[in-house]
Amino acid sequence: MKAAVYAQFGGPISIRDLPDPTPGSGSVLIRVEANGICRSDWHGWMGHDPDVTLPHVPGHELAGVIEEVGSDVRGWRKGERVTVPFACGCGRCPTCLDGFPNICDHYFQPGFTHWGSFAELVAIRYAETNLVRLPDELDFVTAAALGCRFTTAYRAVVAQGGVTKGQQVAVHGCGGVGLSAVMIASALGAHVIAVDIDNESLALAGRSGAEHTIRSGPGVDVPEEISRITGGGADVSIDAFGSRVTSAGSIRSLRKRGTHVQVGLLAGEESDPPIPMGEVVAKELKIVGSHGLQASEYPRLIELILAGRLAPASLVTKRISLDESPAALEAMGDFRNTGMTVIDRF
């Protein structure tokens, strides 16, 4: 198969012909039709993820067609259109049995624990637990745009943030996760404030449903601005970027008894941020994390897309070939891209 691969962290990424993966008895082989490029892939390439071993094929935001079915897999057949969560559960551990395979004790993550989907083919373990059937009306690029970012934002907003109609919601960082969170919270009837350093990203946030935008940077007190706009602070504030500045700023943006959702990954030097615990105690704030989305929750999300209430494809600003993916992945570290980039030609 043709795939993007790197042999050292932060080193060259090349397109090579590699042996086709062989699915185990509980796995399937998927022919990839579309795949998103995510900053999490960049973190893996930089060596920030301990699950990545070298050499490595990145990629976890995939949609495609089942090419081969393992002997123990029931209910799935060759030729079916599918996607998978980026965090796949084993289906048997206590955490999975409690309904949270997204934080499985024995998780499988394409592009991290195993070779991923910057490739023509990818093998997916725990297939019966994690495969999501795609309706014919949902094209592969839109399905890949769900990938890690839209589904992660969906869980952060709906399940972890508990956003409801009429609430004030602040979203810090307008990359793929942040823009998705803006769109989802707005669709739920919330009043959304988007925060970012980039004017183009803020403009896209406005088109995605944000009622107010704040351009952060030197001299801008983001929590103070949010307090002014909302009349006391946000009900829910989401750090969709992942840094010491944005996580603390998100917490300080809340009104009393508000909820902070940490969904942006804090890696490298940003991995252990200080928390303004004085405000957490004084305001009785809630701090929750959010990681991925269970496969069982995908149908509800897909229904909203097919009903026209959500439009993840509108966040896809660039489509590229697999041959262009190394340069696109490297550029994720420079924050040069607005919206999402999806590989749709292999």
Per DSSP, helices labelled H in 148-266 are 151-154, 176-187, 199-207, 222-230, 244-252
The first and second tokens of residue 117, run together, are: 């989907």
- Domain(s) of CATH 3.40.50.720: residues in the chain: 162-289
181-206 pLDDT, tens digit each? 999 999 999 999 999 999 999 999 99
Q: Which fold has domain 162-289?
A: Rossmann fold (3.40.50)
Distance CA 219, CA 210 (A): 23
Specify the domain boundaries for CATH 3.90.180.10 within the chain: 2-149+293-345
pLDDT of residue 269: 77
Q: Please state the pTM of the whole predicted model.
A: 0.92
CB atoms < 10 A from the CB of 314, how many?
16
Residue-wise pLDDT tens digits, 212-269: 999 999 999 999 999 999 999 999 999 999 999 999 999 999 999 999 999 998 877 7
Which residue bears the tokens 């989401």?
238
Residue 334 has pLDDT above 80, yes or no: no
| Cα(323)–Cα(234) distance, integer angstroms | 43
Q: What is the dihedral of CA 122, 62, 126, 124, to 10 degrees?
A: 0
What is the domain class of 2-149+293-345 according to CATH? alpha beta
